[in-house]
Every structure is written in structure tokens, then in C-alpha cells.
Chains A and B, each alone.
Chain A
Amino acid sequence: MSKGDHLAEFELCVIAALAHLGGDSYGAAIRKNIADRGRRLVSIGAIYATLRRLESKGFVRFYIEGARPVQGGRARKRAVLTVAGRAALKRSASLFSRMLDGLTPRPS
């Protein structure tokens, strides 16, 4: 397994959140998803920085969505999970479940 395939914890969070959001979403929604689900403080800057990193690994790609003609409709930069990204998520998830199998971590 090359280093490029490896997912850091926060990268895993972002990819998982993106997957939860249907594999196609934007910064604020991803941030909120991790903040709610992970119950942790997440900054918007960290989301953008991590998405950039995931892009360079080929796990996501960006496209600009034009403003929609509704109230508050604006241009958004959306991230899409690539096939490689989905594979990486799967790999990391199974790695984690294998590693944690048999352990009963006490929820703190």
C-alpha cells in the first residue's frame, strides 16, 4: 500500500461526510456534517485545506456550480467523490474495523 493511498483521520472524516452527503457537496455542508456527526469543533479552513489535499491524491475533484435563481442562490464550489476516493474510503473503513475488531472501547 503506497503512501498516497493512506487516509489520515481527518481526511477519512471528510471523505465519509462527503459520502453521507451523496458524494457531491460543498464546504459548509461538509463542515456541518462532521461537526454534528463527529461532535467536534471543525473549522471551515480545515475543510478546504483537506479537500485540496484529497484533490491532489485524486480522491475528489471540484466543479463550480453557477448561481441558482432563488433567494440566496450563489455560486458554490462543490466537491465530488471520485472512484478512487470511494475505494480509499472502503479500504480505510475495513482497515479500521479489522483493527478495532474485538476491542470494546469504552465510550468516554
Chain B
Amino acid sequence: MTRPPRLARLLLHRLALPDDRPFIVDDLDEEFMDRVKDRGPFSTRAWYVSQVMLSLPSLVRLRLSHRDPHRIRTPMFPDFGSDLRDALRRARRNPLSAAAIILISALGIGASTAVYTVVHAVLMTPLPFAGSERVVRIENMVPRLANEASYLPSDTWTDFLAWRERARSFEVLAGLWEGGTMRAFTLAEETTSLPVAIVTEGFDNLLGVRPLIGRSFVVDEYRFGGPHVMALSEQMWRTRFGADSGVVGRTIVVSDAPRLVVGVFPDANDFPGPVAAWIPLAPVPETSMARGRMSFLALHGRLRPGVTVDQARAEMQSLIAETATTDAQRERVARVTLLSEKLTGPVRPVLLLLTAVVAVTLLVAAGNVALLLLAQAEARSRELSIRLSLGSALSRLARKLAVESVLLAGIGGALGLLLAKVLVSKLVAFYPGRLARADDISIGPPVMLVAAAMTIVVGLVAAWPLLRRLRSADLATGLREGTVSASPAALRVRRTLMIGQLAFAVAMVTSGGMLVRTFVNLLRVNPGFDATGVGYISVSSSVVRYPDRAVLLGRLQRAQEVVRGLPGVTEVASVTYLPLPSRIIGYGTRMMRADDPAQREYSIQFRHMSPEYVDVMRIPVRQGRSLTASDDATGADVALINETLARSAFPAGNALGRAITVQSRTYTVVGILGDMKYWGLAQPVIGEVYVSASQSSLSFRSIVFKSTVDPAIVGAAARAAIRAADETIVVSQSGRLADRVAAASAPERFRALLVGSLAILAFILAGFGLYAVSAHAVAMRSREIGIRVALGATGGRVRRSVLRDTFVLGASGTAIGLALAWAASRGLTAFLTDVSGFDLMIGGTAAGLFLVLSLIAAALPAVRASRVDPLIAMRSE
């Protein structure tokens, strides 16, 4: 017979005034019974729930207004104190099992709180400036290498001017320069290279910048020829200038040009990042920047109220069509993304993955706690039976058990919170690259609330099977037999719990295995160069101090010679951009084939290198030749391209000898180099063009060297030697190239380590669970086993039967777990490299491990079972 939904019914009962209670519930039940005949159980149950839900407001109001001052208030949890004392006493009497419960809930709650903290800070807290929810990043993408998955954003100064004039979707449209944002600050006779934000007009307005002291920039300062000004960041102001308000009006030498400090801006560590100063962008006319040849401008806008992201995107797309002058420009695709999404974008899937993994760990832990509590309760079934038969209400006992499990989970939760504090700092420190919102991460009140909620959930989830058992089991028989667990319902609960726990653990181990495999695969990826014994040191000089290009290059060349002279250094070369940068600097530029009537654009990375670079890095020359010393400023304009670019721009395979145009200059392709991983080991290879460093006018380069001693030591020595030789050279970073390669697989290592260790935790928990279930089954069956042995069953046979039972349990859990893992692998694909959606070998290995685990877990109970003495077993009853 269909019955009203139990939970809703209980809620109604709980909320009604004590005098009305039986009547209101009976009334609703009566109607339920009438309705169910006509309308069927499903819709009637839904009706019942809606009745209860609709009743809530009136009942709550009634209760609030109906406080009888003379009535003795019965608290929500009567006898809570005595229940608590009881629970504590019991925990003391049974310290091992209490400790196990506390430990398991601490691990589960600790891990989940830690991850929730990070998720909360990164994904849920808005950016700290007004109107930030309407700020978008605008990208104007060029298809790169005809591969739709790898579009590159590309905005130029001229794009900015055009969009700003025409776009109607935005209140403010402003840009942030992303190419070359390090500047040499001369402070107290010492020159330091520090990051700056170079911004167009309106950027301060976009972020709602209110200068702490002084003012922001004025229109004149954004024009070439206008006053050279800057604003310090709050951090710079405090650390370097002791928060001296007299700094406004002072002049600081930046990249050898004096700049007037007009104000101090508050820190904006989320966006644009931790910068030392802000500088207005004022392009020099007729330079490649001013003519729109350099696509380093990150455009941002604040949407007008009521304008959606999609509308803005549509407008930008139509503006592209209006302002394009070539077919290639018309092919560009507008992309408009909310800034908050842009900032957390790359982290979001990782955090979601972590959340899923942690939720599963929490479930496995709760399942384990439930099994332990169940075992405890079984040991007490005689006591519970006596209490019941003496007239204790079922609800009273249920409350007692709930208080007990919530108490233990609560202690576990408190410990878990401590654990979470440690884990959070480890997570933030360990996360490769800067976690976009790392500064906001701490365990605050909202996180505490969630942790408390999780504690109660673990406690109640763990107590749930017990309460169910209390309801279903015939406790009177418990009195007689001394145990209630013999009932098939109780066994079912245990086995279901165990299978569920196993299934989740198997899914975790399989997913963890796939992530570990991805990491291992990445370690095997050939980056296209040999980093062994190679070190690097990045240097820059100043265009302002040395406007003559030859002098500038001579200075940089001299730094290179200084490195060559260091002991242990065998080879030296230089390049403008080193592979595998820790953050994305520069979005590349465009290349066209000189003879292409369609003027098709290929997005490429453009590098200047010394001829030895190919040798130091051991980059293979596939066709043609490498650069030589004669390819200098006086020689012909020649270029090397990589295989990928050769394939896509010259599909006929005739790249050698052809002319290409990059930044308005035409080069002849003389050689094709092997592909190199540039952005990351798992990233697709991008098109690259190399030309001679002596044709460069860039004021910075990275010197790479091969040495017989540790490159890190050489790097440190080189830093000192360069400074001694030429104090105008600014050294920004140095180190081993191998470390950059290792850092490039850091995200994968992070994921593999985290999920892997949680998977091991789940595996161990599952092992304990299996052992507990198996040992418990043997204990419960001791009489039956005794009879079997008395009837002639051999020890081997008894052992086999115990092993078989646990093995069947393990196998069913594993089967479901594999299905779960298969489903989960679809969500995982984004994190996998060279691992097919669901790796059969990993799945098989995990399954094998769990099957072996179930046998190992059952081994001890099996041996114990075979030693059952029939006489003792039967006497004990």
C-alpha cells in the first residue's frame, strides 16, 4: 500500500502545535488515501509534499505567535546533555573504534574543507572593484595554422582606436599592454627590473581606480610628446618609499627616462596583477606599435547596463567586418569573455575536478564511519533491545545514536579544520603558477559554516543505516539471540554500504591512475630540444640610453661574451624568447607568404637568435641550413621556420627559398628546424620564425649556455660578472633550462599527486572496510561455522567460503566502480594527454588491485573462521 512520504510527514508532525499534531497529520493522511485511489501514488506523493511545504509558513508563524508563557518548554533535543555524556563515556570505553571514526572523518572533512576553501575564494568571490561583474575581455582572434582549437587573440593599437570610436556596447573600452612589461627602475643608485602595467586611456576608470594620494593620468599624458608620468602601486609605495606622501611630484628614472610620479594607485593583485607602477601608453608615431603591427594589447571593456556578453560579441564581430581591409582580417573572430571567467578560466576545471574527487572521498569516509558505527551498535544490540522492551521510545534511541555519531564526526570535523588550514597553505603554495586569487584564500566564516554542515552530514549519513536498522529490525528477537545483525536486512545494509564504498574507491583509483599516467606521458614528451646542462640568463639594456641600435646590440653582445668567459661554460648563444615561459608573454605576430595574393595571415612566434642557438639547444635542422655568422645585419634577410609552419604555409613542401613577410619585412626561408614545444608540453606546436639576432632592435634577450658545472651556479656567477662588466645591463632571471621543462609539467604533477594521494586514501579505507565486513560476518556466523565443522567441514573449506564471500563483495563493488570510472573519464578527458578516454589497462590494473585487496582483507577472518571450535561456538549462545 502506498504511504505518504515519510520525511514530509515527519516535518509536518514536528512543526505543528503539540495539541494539533496527531489531528493535522491524520487529516492529511486521510486525504492522501482518498486521492491515491484516483490519481495514483506518484502524483499523490508529490501533492502531499507540496501540502507540507505550503503549510510551513503558516505553521511556523503560528508556533512563533503561540508561545504560552506558562508552558514548560520542551527543547528540540531533550536530554541532549545526558545523551552527550553517554556518548563521551562510550567513546572512552571504546577508544580504538572512536579514534578510527574520528580519524576517518577528520581526513574526509579536512580534505573537503581545504578544497572548498580554494574553490570558494577563486570561483565565488567577485573581483574587488565596483562594476567588475560587467568587465569583459575582448579578443579579436586570428585563426592560427588553420586549427580552430588554437586561435590566438590579437589586438593592436589601431584596432583599439577603431573599436573605441565605434563600439556602442561598452561604457569604457581600454587596453592593457601585454608585450614587454618589465621596466628597469633606478632607485637609490641601483637598477631593478620590475613589472609595470602599461595602460591606455580609460583603464583606471574601467577598474574604478581611486588614487590613494595624488591623481590619476590626464588625457595629455596619453599622447606622444606629452609629459612622462607614472603612478606607483601601493605596495611599491609602502615597501620602497616608506609610504612617504612626498613621493608625488618626485621624478624616478624608469628605463633610463625620468618619469614624474603623479599618484599612488591601490594594489590590484587580481587584475592586472602585482605591478610596481602604472604607466600611460603613448605610442611613438610611425613605429610598428602605432601602425598596428604589434598585437600585444589586451582590450577590456565595461558593458553598458543591460547589454549582454553575447550582444557585445555580436557588435564586435560586425565591427570586424566593417573595419577589415583584407580578406584575412575579415576572417578574424571576436570573442568577448567576462573578466572573472577569464581570470579563473584555466583554474576552474581543475577546481571542479578537485571538488568531485573530494566529494567522493567524503562519501567513502562517511561510508566507512557508518560501517564502524554499525559494528559498534551491533555490539550493543542487546542493550538497545532491553531499552526498547523497557519502553524507551524508538525516537529517543535514534536521537541517542545520532548524537553519538555527530559527536564523533564533530571532533573529527574540528581536527579536520586544523588539517584543512595546513592543506590550504600547501595547496596554494603547490599550485603551479600563481593561483589567480591566491591572496583571498583563507578559512573564513562561510567556509567554517560549510565545514560544520559537512560534519553534520557525515555524522547523519553515518548514523542513517543505524536508524534504519532500528526501525526495521525486530529488536525483540535481538533480546533472544543476543544480536540483531543476523537479520538479512542488516546484512544487506552492510553489503550495500561496502559495495558503494568500493565502487567509489575503484573509480577514484582508476581516475587517479589515468592522471598519473598523463603526468608520466608528459615526462616522456620530447620538447624538441635538449635541456641537459643548459642554463639561461635574461638581460636587457635601454633603448633610451642607447638610441643607436648598433651600440645597444654591442652592449648585449658584450654581456654574452662575459658569460662565454666564465669557467665551465662551453657554448653560448642567445634568443629573444625562451621556450616554456612560466606565464604567457606576448601573443606572437603574423606572417604572410610574400607571393600569396590572398594575403593569408599565419599567427606565429617571431624570434631573434644568434647562430649558435640551434647548436646549444640541439635543435635538429630538417632541411636547408641553419643561420651562420655571415647572416648578420649586413647580410641578406634570411629566416628559419619550424616544421609545423612549413607544413601549413607551404603544404607542397617547397618552403626553402620562398619569401615570407613578418612585421613588414621580407625574409627568404633558408632552413627548416625541428618542432619545439613552446607554450607547454601538452600544447600543440605553434608556427615559429627565427631570424638573426643582429637584425633585431629588441633591447632584451636570453643568453643560453651549455656548461660542465651546474648551470644554476654559472647563472649566479654570470649575474655578478655582467653587473661588474656593465652596470647598465639589467639581469632579470637566470636558472636551469631543465627546471623550466620540469615546471611545464607541474600542473599535471599537481593533479596526479593530489588525486593519486586521495585515491590511495580511498584504497586504504576500502581495505579496512572490507576487513571489517568480513571479520564481522565471521563473528556473526560463528555458530553456523561451528555446526559445519562439527558436521565434517574441513578448515580449507571454511576458509574458502569466507574468502569467496568477501571476493564476491569486492568483485561487485569493482564492477560498479569500473562503470563509474568509465563515466567519470568523460569528464576527465580535458586533463589527459595521450591517454585514451578510458584506459583499459589502468582500469584493469585497478580492478585487479581491488580484487587482491578483498582477498587480503578476508585472509585473517578466514583463518579465524577455520579455527572455530564447534564446542565453544555453540556453547556461547
Name A's B-contacting residues (CB within 8 A): 26-28, 31-32, 41, 43-46, 48-50, 52, 72, 74-77
Contact = CB atoms under 8 A, between A and B. Distances in A.
Contacts of B15: 45
Nearest to A41: B54
Given A41-B54, A43-B51, A52-B17, A26 B22 contact: no
B31 A48 contact: no
Nearest to B62: A49
Nearest to B28: A44
Given A43-B51, A43-B58, A48 B26 contact: no
B26 A76 contact: yes
13 contacts: A28-B28, A28-B30, A43-B54, A44-B24, A45-B51, A45-B54, A45-B56, A46-B58, A48-B24, A49-B62, A52-B66, A75-B26, A76-B26
Given A45-B24, A52-B62, 13 more contacts: A31-B27, A32-B31, A43-B55, A44-B51, A44-B55, A45-B15, A45-B51, A46-B55, A48-B17, A48-B55, A48-B58, A49-B61, A72-B33
A26 B59 CA distance: 17
The interface residues of chain A, by DSSP majority, are classed as helix
Contacts, number: 68
Interface centre among B26, B27, B66 (most CB of A within 10 A): B27
A27 B59 CA distance: 14
B336 interface: no
A77 B17 CA distance: 13
Contacts of A72: 30, 33
A32 B47 CA distance: 13
Given A48-B20, A52-B17, A28 B27 contact: yes
B816 to A, nearest CB: 41
**Listed residue (A27, A41, A49, A74) with the most chain B CB atoms within 10 angstroms of its CB:** A49
Nearest to B23: A77
Interface in B1-31: 12, 15-17, 20, 22-24, 26-28, 30-31
Interface in B25-84: 26-28, 30-31, 33, 51-52, 54-59, 61-62, 66
B23 A76 contact: yes
A48 B51 contact: no
Contact of B27 (A41, A44, A46, A49): A44
Interface centre among A44, A50, A76 (most CB of B within 10 A): A44
A44 B15 CA distance: 12
Contacts of B17: 48, 52
A28 B54 contact: no
A49 B57 CA distance: 10
Interface of B: 12, 15-17, 20, 22-24, 26-28, 30-31, 33, 51-52, 54-59, 61-62, 66
Given A32-B31, A44-B55, A75 B22 contact: yes
From B23, B51, B54, name the one whose CB has the most chain A CB atoms within 10 angstroms.
Answer: B23
Chain B: interface secondary structure? helix
Contacts of A46: 54-55, 58
B208 to A, nearest CB: 47
Contacts of B31: 28, 31-32, 44
Nearest to A10: B58
A27 B20 CA distance: 10
Nearest to A27: B27
Contacts of A31: 27, 31
A49 B20 CA distance: 10
B59 A48 contact: yes
A44 B57 CA distance: 11
Given A27-B27, A32-B31, A77 B20 contact: yes
Contacts of B33: 72
Contacts of A76: 23, 26-27
Contact of A48 (B22, B30, B56, B62): B62
A27 B23 contact: yes
Given A52-B17, A75-B22, A77-B20, A45 B59 contact: yes
B55 A45 contact: yes
A50 B15 CA distance: 15
Nearest to B16: A48
In the A-B complex, the 4 residue pairs with the smallest Cβ-Cβ separation, listed nearest first, are: A45-B55, A43-B54, A28-B27, A49-B58
Of B17, B22, B30, which is in contact with the most chain A CB atoms at under 10 Å from its CB?
B30
Contacts of B30: 28, 72, 74
Contacts of B62: 45, 48-49, 52
A42 to B, nearest CB: 8
Contacts of A45: 12, 15-16, 24, 51-52, 54-59, 62
A49 B12 CA distance: 13
B13 to A, nearest CB: 12
Nearest to A30: B27
A65 to B, nearest CB: 10
B806 to A, nearest CB: 49
Given A28-B27, A44-B28, A49 B54 contact: no
A72 B256 CA distance: 97
B333 to A, nearest CB: 51
A49 B61 CA distance: 8
A77 B66 CA distance: 18
Nearest to A32: B31
Contacts of B66: 52
Nearest to B24: A48
A32 B35 CA distance: 11
Contacts of B24: 27, 44-45, 48
B54 to A, nearest CB: 4
B357 to A, nearest CB: 42
Given A28-B31, A48-B16, A75 B23 contact: yes
B12 to A, nearest CB: 8
Nearest to B48: A44
B59 to A, nearest CB: 4
Contacts of B58: 43, 45-46, 48-50
Nearest to A77: B23
B2 to A, nearest CB: 15
A95 B842 CA distance: 80
A27 B19 CA distance: 14
A26 B27 CA distance: 8
A81 B307 CA distance: 59
Contacts of B16: 45, 48
Contacts of B27: 26-28, 31, 44, 76
A45 B56 CA distance: 7
A21 to B, nearest CB: 14
B238 to A, nearest CB: 60
B198 to A, nearest CB: 62
Contacts of B26: 74-76
Q: Which of A28, A45, A46, A77 has the most CB of B within 10 A?
A: A45
A36 B150 CA distance: 63
